[in-house]
Structure 1
Amino acid sequence: VCLPPPPLPRARLHFSLVLVRLTFFSVRSPQVVARSTTTTTLPPPPLPPPFTFVWRQLLMFRRKKKAPSTADSLAKLRASVTMLEKREEFLVKKMEVEVGKAKVALGKGNKKLALSHLKRKKTYESQVEKCGNARMTIESQMMALENASVSVEAMDSIQAGNASLKAIQKKMSVETVEETMDEVRDRVEDQDE
């Protein structure tokens, strides 16, 4: 087993770098600055690779997620569409309530309250628009998934038909057709005699 080398003590290295910085930038006599800047520090140790041999071995036995079936994906997408439709209906009702509150507030002469209700209605409108866009995206994804499923089924049937044609053609080669036609001619000639 190949293990990475133990790391060098970073605390000592960090402390020496800080000491050099402090002594270099502090106000001292030129002799002290010259002496402190001549100290050498070790370069930082190389970091181990992100995926060592052990990690690769552990990740090798990780289970891969299975792709969901087409029916499961379509069911989830349909559930999302119905949830978004319900959310849109809820937001539309909230918009109607806010418009009603704004009318009542305006009737009482409270313009600030009416404006706040109309602003809330505007935020609900933007949320309805976002829900509608998300629903359209999901519906287009559903259509693409259904089209892909139909294409796969059509390709499977074409491949099955092609395989059966190959099997028939193997049984019916040129030589067997010629032999059969020769036999038919012989029988016809025998019958003519």
Structure 2
Amino acid sequence: MFNRLFGKPKQQTNALTTLDKLNETLEMLEKKENVLLKKAAAEVEKAKEFTRAKNKRGLFCCLQVTLSAAAIQCLKRKRLYEQQVEQLGNFQLRIHDQMIMLEGAKATTETVGALRTGAAAMKAMQKATNIDDVDKTMDEINEQTENMKQIQEALSAPIGAADFDEDELEAELEELEGAELEEQLLQPATAAPVPDIPANKQPVRYAPKKNTAEEDELAALQAEMAL
């Protein structure tokens, strides 16, 4: 039924137009109901006036009967108005019921259409993205990540570090230190001659001789060998 009512955009437009028409009809019925209620109230007031006039003293019997008949006619018209008001109320209930059904059908159809659109979009995305393609892409990413990790480890390793043995270097350093110490012990100790100094003269103090460039280089080399 919903497909027949709202299956196409044109039919949805017709449904909206129908709802607008029902709203207009409902407003018209409410206005008529208010008019009839006012008329019924006016007939009641007229009946009361005829009744008050009939109850006055000094009126003839025939006049009292006429006033009573007029009051009854007012009450009859009031009943007719009330019947029409009741009928209009039933019409309004039917219109309200029809509007509720149409609005519910419209909401249901829009919900179904939205769900259908979502399902179609998901289906299209599934077709565009196959699970095998996803697995293949993840494998490629993992492989590239592992390759990059190996490249980084290779680049961060010190150059030629694996060509030298630390124990051999320590042993060679100990041999150099021992040879240097032995050479120093074998050198003879020579004392400088003491010059004759006159009694009345103070010994001349000579400034220490500055190291030459060669001596500086030798000292630096010895410091490196000691390290």
**TM-score of the superposition, structure 1-length normalised?**
0.62
Is 1:130 paired with 2:87?
Answer: yes
Q: Distance in 2 between matches of 1:157 and 1:190?
A: 46
Q: Distance in 2 between matches of 1:177 and 1:99?
A: 84
Q: Counterparts in 2 of 1:18-37, with a 5 A limit?
A: none
Choose the corresponding residue for 1:181, options 133, 138, 155: 138
- Corresponding position of 2:47: 102
Q: Distance in 2 between matches of 1:148 and 1:105?
A: 55
Choose the corresponding residue for 2:100, options 143, 146, 155: 143
Is 1:117 paired with 2:74?
Answer: yes
Q: Distance in 2 between matches of 1:174 and 1:82?
A: 59
- Corresponding position of 1:88: 33
- Moved >3 Å (runs of 4+): none
Number of positions where the alignment pairs a residue of Structure 1 with one of Structure 2: 128
- Corresponding position of 1:78: 23
**TM-score of the superposition, structure 2-length normalised?**
0.53
Q: Which has the larger radius of gyration?
A: 2
State the secondary structure of the residue aligned to 1:108: helix
State the secondary structure of the residue aligned to 1:69: helix
State the identity as a percent.
Answer: 38
Q: Distance in 2 between matches of 1:99 and 1:184?
A: 91
Q: Which runs of 5+ in 2 are unaligned?
A: 1-9, 55-66, 151-227
1:105-149 residue CA offsets vs partner (Å, 9 max, x unmatched): 111212222112111111111110110111111012112111211
Q: Distance in 1 between matches of 2:125 and 2:21?
A: 43
- Corresponding position of 2:160: none
Supply the AA of the counterpart residue of 2:128. K
- Corresponding position of 1:153: 110
Q: Distance in 2 between matches of 1:78 and 1:181?
A: 59
Q: Distance in 1 between matches of 2:135 and 2:46?
A: 92
- Corresponding position of 1:24: none
Q: Counterparts in 2 of 1:46-57, with a 5 A limit?
A: none
Q: Which runs of 5+ in 1 are unaligned?
A: 1-65
Q: Counterparts in 2 of 1:40-51, with a 5 A limit?
A: none
- Corresponding position of 1:19: none
